[in-house]
Amino acid sequence: MGYGQSHIKSYVLRAGRMSDAQRRSYKTLFPDFCVPFTPEPAEAGSFRLDFKHIFGNENPVTLEIGFGMGIATAMIAQDNPQKNYLGVEVHRPGIGRLLWEIDARSISNIRIIEHDAVEVLEKMIPPSSIAAFHIFFPDPWPKKRHHKRRLLTRPFTGLLAEKLCPGGYVYMVTDWADYGDWALAELSATNGLRNRYAGFAEHQSWRPETKFERKGIEKQHEVRELFFLKG
């Protein structure tokens, strides 16, 4: 199944003003921590992204889709120096913010790709190469006519399974009850994934609260977690 440039996007690019600090971080730190999107047809097992080259080691790689401002990403990476983190995001102010955090916290195990994660996965990520996917509070697309934009939908969830290495996992969290039910059904029906729990997952205590999580909790939304393993 090809996704290509024409697939329905799971985001709408927000104009979002960049603060001076975000703009400065984006300008000065981009070359060191951001990897350009380099599409290459997934042919003959050749993929552009060489994790050893971009991280300088062979530690396991967690790929986060849509890190937003990236504070939770920075905290998790700082807590786990023996792992690598690849954040994929389209919102430039958020990329500037995460770059600022990387600098402020002297983090060396994060790299960023500024592009649509669907295309990054399809065109740049080798099969069976990712130890974990983190997808925290993805855009819920609550209106029925927008449900097709929801990221956690087949066949995309099959692409997650294909890119996971043995023992790998997908960890998704949402504050939107209907999206939680939707994602549970889609992930459960995805070949190559199995639920680690019976239904929704326990809260993973190592995960810091994210910005969108805080907003959801302020609105009395219930947080639902999903944890699926490869296999």
Ligand X SMILES: C[S@@+](CC[C@H](N)C(=O)[O-])C[C@H]1O[C@@H](n2cnc3c(N)ncnc32)[C@H](O)[C@@H]1O
The residue annotated as part of the active site, out of 20, 79, 116, 139, is 139
Q: Which is nearer to ligand X, 105 or 194 (CB)?
A: 105
Could you say which residues in the range 49-108 bind ligand X, by CB under 6 A? 65-68, 88-91, 94
Residues 115-154: x/- map of binding to ligand X (CB under 6 A)?
-xxx-----------------xxxx-----------x---
Q: What φ, ψ does residue 164 adopt, rounded to 5°? A: -75, 145
| Residue 214 to residues 130, 150, 173, 175, Cα–Cα distance (Å) | 28, 21, 13, 10
Minimum separation from the CB atom of position 59 to ligand X (A): 22
Minimum separation from the CB atom of position 93 to ligand X (A): 9
At residue 214, the 3 state secondary structure works out as helix
11 binds ligand X (CB under 6 A): yes
Could you say which residues in the range 164-223 bind ligand X, by CB under 6 A? 210-213
Identify the burial level of 60 via C-beta atoms within 10 angstroms of its C-beta, where 0-12 means exposed, 13-18 middle and 19 or more buried.
middle
Residues 6+ apart with CB under 8 A from 35: 49, 54, 86, 111, 112, 113
Verify whether residue 175 is a known catalytic residue: no
Active site residues: 139
